[in-house]
Every structure is written in structure tokens, then in C-alpha cells.
């Protein structure tokens, strides 16, 4: 095994520069060194490795086969050095600052608090603020206006945002405790029950109604109620059936019966930041934590697809 303790990063930089330029003098100019310094660095590296890295001739400095195999490893080592510097710079930049977060209710209740708690534990000198909005459209507008740094929205979103998928949240049917439900529920079956929905302009129900239209389900709601908790309470009392995203209904009362829609439907929730904006390091640190937050909702034990 070749001893490598004598290899210096300056030698690896010289190797990469000469390989790129195929010329010692041009490599020296690139690294702002003398040509003799570059020649010495390559010669010392070749001595340390016990192999010839370049063939010198009229075509310039050409990598030997072994030099060609070594080059990617040298590039990787230099890239790792840059990563080390980046991490150190990031740490120095996380000594103070604030992240402003916007979300709608269900994500603000069940996702964001966990992320903020982890964020504060990891970066105690940073702060985070949370603004709750009525729906994802209001969250996106707050991002556009620069009022917040990070938002939770529906995917896909406009190209003006950078986004990362967070959770695939299924729309579920919730039935009263004692009502009879067919084993294989159809759209025709669903039309026989009283329906309790949110307002027509509610973001959840706008997309849900589009799903209904695609499958020719046209029954109107018997009740329209704004608050998810009120809707769930009405279903418990046997006043009708509702459809809610799982996260919006969580924690789900144990007495409710749960089914998937005849054709399952999901909303895709994502993290969004304004694209092309100059975000400070705390914003990216919070996004990294938010991507890893475990999202736990109801058990599937009472569900029948």
C-alpha cells in the first residue's frame, strides 16, 4: 500500500489544473503560482504515489492512464474540502437571525410546531415566527410579498417558487358511528347520504369538487360549514357524511368510521420558498429540518379502502 501521508492539497490542485489546461504554464497562471512551483508539486506527487501522472511532449501535458484514473479522486477530495468550508461558513452564519413561516391550519397544527421545536433545539440562537393563513393561496401571496420566508402550500405550485414535497395527504370519507356502509362503496352509494362540506371557495373543496366532476359525482352538500372541527362534530351526531384531508381531521375521533373515496384522491403538501430570492442561511436550515419532520396521523386500523 502506497503511503499517502505526504500528499498535500496544493499538489492535488496542481494535478487538476494541469489536467484541465494540459499545460504547466497555463495551470500556473490559473493558480497564480510560478511554473516551477507547479512542476515541483506534480513531481512531488508522482514521487509520493510512485507513478507517472503526465506525459510531457509536443501535445502538452497529457494524463497517463493511471493519472486519468486518479484525477476523479483528486477532484472529489477538493470538492470535500469545499464542503467542509461551506459547513463552517453555515455554522458561523447561524449565530443569529429569524425564519418567518406561513401555513394554513392543518399543517400549522400538526407539522410546523414539531419543526420549530427541533429548529430551536439545534439552533438556540435563532428564532422562528409562524403566521396562520386561511388557505394555501394566502400563504403563497405572503411569500410573494416578502412577508414570510417559508410557506406550506399545495403542489404543484407556480414556477415562481422553489418547492419540496412534504406529505401526500388523502381525502377520506368520515361516517357517523352507527350508519351502515357498503363493503365496496360507489359514487352512487355516496349520493344516498346527507353531505357536510366546507364552503365552495374553500381550497380543500375547490380541488375536491374538481375530483367529483371528473367522476360525474354532482350531489350538492346538505350542510356547508367553515370549521373542520364543527364538521366532525356534526358527523359524530349522525347529521351526515363528510370528506376531509386526513391531516385536517386529525386527531380523528375513534367513534367515526373511515373509508377512502370510491376513487382515492390526495392533496400534495409541500414546502415553498420564493425562487431567485437571496435567503439567509437560517431559512435553508429550517427547510432542511422541515423535510425530515415525521408526520404521524391517524391509524389505518379502522379504514377500509
Element (DSSP H or E) covering residue 97: strand 97-104
251 preceded by a cis bond (ω within 30 of 0)? yes
**CB contact at 8 A, 196 and 240:** yes
pLDDT at position 296 over 80: no
Residue 303 is predicted with a pLDDT of: 44
- The pLDDT confidence band at residue 178, using thresholds 50, 70 and 90, is confident
CA distances from 168 to 154, 171, 202 (A): 10, 10, 19
pLDDT at position 82 over 90: no
Task: Tell me the per-residue pLDDT of 144-159, one tens digit each, with 9 for 90 and over.
Answer: 999 999 999 999 999 9
Residue 152 is predicted with a pLDDT of: 95
pLDDT at position 93 over 90: no
**CB contact at 8 A, 264 and 151:** no
Average pLDDT over residues 211-227: 93
pLDDT at position 69 over 80: yes
- The pLDDT confidence band at residue 4, using thresholds 50, 70 and 90, is confident
pLDDT at position 190 over 80: yes
CA distances from 156 to 134, 150, 172, 294 (A): 19, 16, 21, 22
Look at residues 117, 119, 147 and name the one whose alpha carbon lies nearest to residue 133.
147
Mean pLDDT rounded to a whole number for the chain: 89
Percent of the chain with pLDDT over 70: 93
Please give the domain boundaries of the chain with CATH numbers for all domains: 9-93 (1.10.10.10), 99-305 (3.40.190.290)
Residue 2 is predicted with a pLDDT of: 54
Residue 58 is predicted with a pLDDT of: 78
Average pLDDT over residues 133-154: 94
**CB contact at 8 A, 247 and 103:** no
Residue 125 is predicted with a pLDDT of: 85
- Any residues with CB less than 8 A from the CB of 54 and at least 6 apart, and which? 18, 42, 61, 62, 63, 64, 67
pTM, full prediction: 0.64
Amino acid at each position: 500500500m502506497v503511503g499517502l501521508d505526504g500528499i498535500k492539497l496544493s499538489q492535488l490542485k496542481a494535478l487538476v489544473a494541469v489536467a484541465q489546461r494540459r499545460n504547466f504554464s497555463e495551470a500556473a497562471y490559473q493558480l497564480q503560482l510560478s511554473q516551477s512551483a507547479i512542476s515541483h508539486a506534480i513531481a512531488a506527487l508522482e514521487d509520493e504515489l510512485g507513478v507517472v501522472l503526465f506525459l510531457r511532449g509536443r501535445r502538452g501535458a497529457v494524463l497517463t492512464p493511471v493519472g486519468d484514473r486518479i484525477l476523479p479522486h483528486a477532484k472529489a477530495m477538493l470538492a470535500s474540502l469545499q464542503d467542509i468550508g461551506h459547513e463552517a461558513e453555515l455554522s458561523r452564519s447561524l449565530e443569529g437571525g429569524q425564519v418567518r413561516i406561513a401555513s394554513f391550519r392543518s399543517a400549522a397544527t400538526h407539522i410546523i410546531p414539531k419543526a420549530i421545536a427541533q429548529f430551536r433545539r439545534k439552533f438556540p440562537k435563532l428564532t422562528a415566527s409562524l403566521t396562520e393563513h386561511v388557505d394555501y393561496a394566502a400563504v403563497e401571496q405572503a411569500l410573494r410579498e416578502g412577508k414570510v420566508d417559508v410557506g406550506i402550500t399545495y403542489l404543484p405550485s407556480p414556477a415562481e417558487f422553489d418547492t419540496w414535497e412534504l406529505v401526500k395527504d388523502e381525502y377520506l370519507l368520515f361516517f357517523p358511528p352507527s350508519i351502515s356502509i357498503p363493503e365496496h362503496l360507489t359514487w352512487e352509494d355516496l349520493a344516498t347520504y346527507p353531505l357536510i362540506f366546507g364552503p365552495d371557495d374553500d381550497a380543500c373543496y375547490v380541488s375536491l369538487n374538481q375530483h367529483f366532476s371528473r367522476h360525474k359525482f354532482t350531489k350538492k352538500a346538505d350542510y356547508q360549514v367553515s370549521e373542520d372541527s364543527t364538521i366532525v362534530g356534526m358527523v359524530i351526531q349522525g347529521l351526515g357524511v363528510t370528506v376531509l384531508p386526513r391531516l385536517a381531521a386529525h386527531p380523528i375521533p375513534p367513534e367515526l368510521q373511515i373509508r377512502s373515496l370510491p376513487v382515492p384522491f390526495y392533496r400534495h403538501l409541500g414546502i415553498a420558498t420564493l425562487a431567485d430570492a437571496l435567503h439567509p442561511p437560517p431559512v435553508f436550515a429550517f427547510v432542511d429540518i422541515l423535510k425530515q419532520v415525521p408526520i404521524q396521523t391517524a391509524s389505518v386500523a379502522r379504514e377500509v379502502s
